Chains A and B, each alone.
Chain A
């Protein structure tokens, strides 16, 4: 079992109290969490990445326990080896494309060099055909280019799982169709497990090996593949 998630978390927002209670297991290379906004998709993703602490439950990725309240395990986000592509890509605006891609390769206090691009970052720049943009800043890129930089940045530290939060929401329709195909191709080439969240049925159609429907903080149907 590559991904095993069972988490509960209450959010005591007086305006909108919310209880997240999801459990699923998946071997699928591309798992899609599908549901309307406010269903708890993003919270689930954040809990897997270690950006949100569940009240109870467990998270296991590729045989490694990242969170388990009973055993007192809570691996910090920085040590989880989980890649994250944020909804608006969250590229660092003060850094060049090359620096963004190299950002996760060294964890110290020093920013990646503007001039000398490490080999691992260079490979990903080439793989996504963004080598010619290495010296540009995120504000100078198109939506599709930003998405490729975000993917390259998330993949460079060689994560064991890649989480994508609405990766196509910021793009126009024509581009969406093309980038869906290239995401499928990428996943099949790398053999890396991906979890994609979306509210767009077309994403489910094009991407999903397994789909989970989320509503009001719960998984609606039983996971098919075991």
Chain B
């Protein structure tokens, strides 16, 4: 296969895997915390965390540039450490992570809220510390929902375009992901290349959706009656 096909595909897979992994930890932690936290700010926090889902990706990318650019709040500080995520594949990971975060968070939140609090109480009276209750009771019961959310997040991260283009740019072999490569191929009039890339992207997404559907449909977690 031509390098201009597999390079963007591999990069996209790498970026999407990283973004999904980070979101699994971050999204699950935040979702669990918020599902146990009763406060009047709950709705506001929820809205802010869902924002990346509805904001135009270019707006997301702009925020990232303002924050992470050399003169940005976080970017300036990173620059002192010799780090600059702009125009790197790590920048693409940040963009994809942010764009896909709400998908994991929402799914995990719904899954945790579906766990019967009495089961967690049972864990506590049987001698478990809070983290053990999370690991042995809440997490396994919420697992199916979390995995389904993670697969959707993976697909979303794989297709990320707007924010990625703005923060990571379009450097072939370095930051040119699958979606960005498709755009470039069409711009350059390379129809054959574009067709191939579009085919690869479509097949990958269909596979992810099929797996996600299977996981959510299969026997839902058994509930005590």
CB distance B118 to A90 under 8 Å?
Answer: yes
CB distance B119 to A49 under 8 Å?
Answer: no
CB distance A157 to B127 under 8 Å?
Answer: yes
Of the residues A78, A110, A138, A157, contact of B124 by C-beta under 8 Å: A78
Of the residues B122, B125, B135, B225, contact of A92 by C-beta under 8 Å: B122
Contact A107 to B118, CB < 8 A, known contacts A89-B224, A93-B224: no
Is A24's CB within 8 Å of the partner chain B? no
Is A16's CB within 8 Å of the partner chain B? no
Closest to B116 in A: A90
Alpha-carbon distance between A76 and B123 when the two chains are bound, in angstroms: 12
Is A82's CB within 8 Å of the partner chain B? yes
Of the residues A50, A79, A108, A139, contact of B225 by C-beta under 8 Å: A139
Of the residues A79, A82, A83, A92, contact of B119 by C-beta under 8 Å: A92
Closest chain-B Cβ to A217's Cβ sits at a distance in Å of 21
What 1/0 mask marks residues of chain A from 128 to 141 whose CB sits below 8 Å from any chain B CB? 00000000011100
Which residues in chain B, 90-136, are within 8 Å of chain A measured between CB atoms?
116, 118-119, 121-129, 131-132, 135-136
Contact A107 to B132, CB < 8 A, known contacts A88-B118, A93-B224, A138-B224: yes
CB distance B126 to A94 under 8 Å?
Answer: no
Is A34's CB within 8 Å of the partner chain B? no
Is A168's CB within 8 Å of the partner chain B? no
Is A104's CB within 8 Å of the partner chain B? yes
Contact A109 to B135, CB < 8 A, known contacts A78-B125, A82-B125, A90-B122: yes
**Interface SS of chain A:** loop
Alpha-carbon distance between A32 and B107 when the two chains are bound, in angstroms: 43
Alpha-carbon distance between A137 and B141 when the two chains are bound, in angstroms: 14
Is B223's CB within 8 Å of the partner chain A? yes
CB distance A138 to B222 under 8 Å?
Answer: yes
Residues of B within 8 A of A84 (CB): 121-122, 125
The interface on chain B, measured as residues whose beta carbon lies within 8 A of the other chain's beta carbons, has a size of: 24
CB distance A94 to B125 under 8 Å?
Answer: no
Closest to A104 in B: B126
Residues of A within 8 A of B140 (CB): 94, 111
Alpha-carbon distance between A91 and B141 when the two chains are bound, in angstroms: 12
CB distance B128 to A78 under 8 Å?
Answer: yes
Alpha-carbon distance between A138 and B122 when the two chains are bound, in angstroms: 15
Which residues in chain A, 89-126, are within 8 Å of chain B measured between CB atoms?
89-94, 103-104, 107-111
Alpha-carbon distance between A141 and B126 when the two chains are bound, in angstroms: 22
Is B137's CB within 8 Å of the partner chain A? yes
Alpha-carbon distance between A80 and B126 when the two chains are bound, in angstroms: 9
Residues of A within 8 A of B121 (CB): 46, 51, 77, 84, 86, 90
Residues of A within 8 A of B221 (CB): 93-94
CB distance B224 to A92 under 8 Å?
Answer: yes
Shortest beta-carbon contacts, A-B, top 10: A104-B126, A93-B222, A139-B222, A77-B124, A107-B127, A90-B118, A90-B122, A91-B224, A84-B125, A78-B127
Q: Given A83-B125, A86-B121, A109-B135, 13 other A-B contacts at CB below 8 A?
A: A51-B121, A77-B124, A84-B125, A90-B116, A90-B121, A93-B119, A93-B221, A94-B222, A104-B127, A108-B132, A110-B136, A111-B136, A153-B126
**Could you write out 8 A-B pairs with CB less than 8 Å apart?**
A50-B125, A51-B124, A77-B124, A84-B122, A84-B125, A86-B121, A93-B141, A139-B224
Binding site for B on A (CB under 8 A): 46, 49-51, 76-80, 82-84, 86, 88-94, 103-104, 107-111, 137-139, 143, 146, 153, 157, 170
